[in-house]
Chain A
Amino acid sequence: MSYPVLALAFLALAAAVAVVATRRRRLGPRWWAVTGLTVLALMVLTAVFDNLMIAADLFRYNEELLVGWYLGLAPVEDFAWPLAAGLLLPSLWELLHPAPASPAGPWTNARTDARNHPRERP
């Protein structure tokens, strides 16, 4: 199995959790916009720190199984990690946290809040 296939399998899992969270918590375009910004910021950090970490020889790749595109020393496959993290963790948070106190609170509209947590509204 090539590494991109493996990465896509885990990305699909993260995306599936995001879809479930979107449906269950009725997450709107604003939630997704903030999620997109989070992923973008994580990717910039990855571009910088992955290069430093590979240069420091903290870990290595089997280069024969990589697609062969690099950003400096960082293989393009490594950007699957920030993408997966940015999708998976906020989605899990939406599914598991006590809803009204969420940092995503303002990104869900009032009608949605009332529908999801009717008892918590006066």
Chain B
Amino acid sequence: MAVIYLVSLLASLGCMALLDRRFRLVLWRAPRAGAVVLAVGLAFFLAWDLVAIASQHYAAGTSEAMTGIMLAPELPLEEILFILFLCYLTLVLRGLLVLALGGRTRTEQADRTARTDRRDRTHRPARRTLATGERS
């Protein structure tokens, strides 16, 4: 199956996009900046690839999981998608780590505090009722 690697990469990129959209991490947070960062990352790792290929460190494999479409000598089409995936994964992973560690932007934190304050004020009588109910 010559498209397995290509399809796996596209599916993985799609998963990153879903996480990005759900948690507003990269392209769904700052589309232009996100795209520029990904483009610079792509250029950086592509340059690394090209220098490594030119000095004969890397060579394409002969796996049947690849389409065989070459963009340059020893540089398969799939490599572009792999680099994009690595770059996108890095940003999404970091964004998720910040969320998991309880991080919030200061603005969001302020919003949340304001909301909690309001809720406390609104619901205090209800809580008392509940407490009374439990006792009786």
Contacts and interface: CB of A to CB of B under 8 A. Distances in A.
A96 B55 contact: no
Could you say which interface size class chain A belongs to?
35 or more
Interface string B48-63: 1001100111111111
Contacts of B14: none
A19 B105 CA distance: 23
Contacts of B33: 93, 96-98
Interface in B57-84: 57-63, 65-66, 78
Given A6-B52, A100-B106, A58 B36 contact: no
Contacts of A107: 98, 103
Interface stretch (B88-96, B113-121, B122-130): B88-96
Contacts of A93: 26, 33-34, 37, 91
17 contacts: A56-B65, A57-B63, A58-B63, A58-B78, A59-B58, A60-B61, A65-B56, A84-B44, A85-B41, A90-B94, A92-B40, A97-B34, A98-B30, A101-B107, A106-B103, A106-B104, A110-B106
Interface of A: 1, 3, 6, 10, 13-14, 34-35, 37-38, 41-42, 45, 56-62, 65, 81-82, 84-86, 88-90, 92-93, 96-98, 100-107, 110, 113
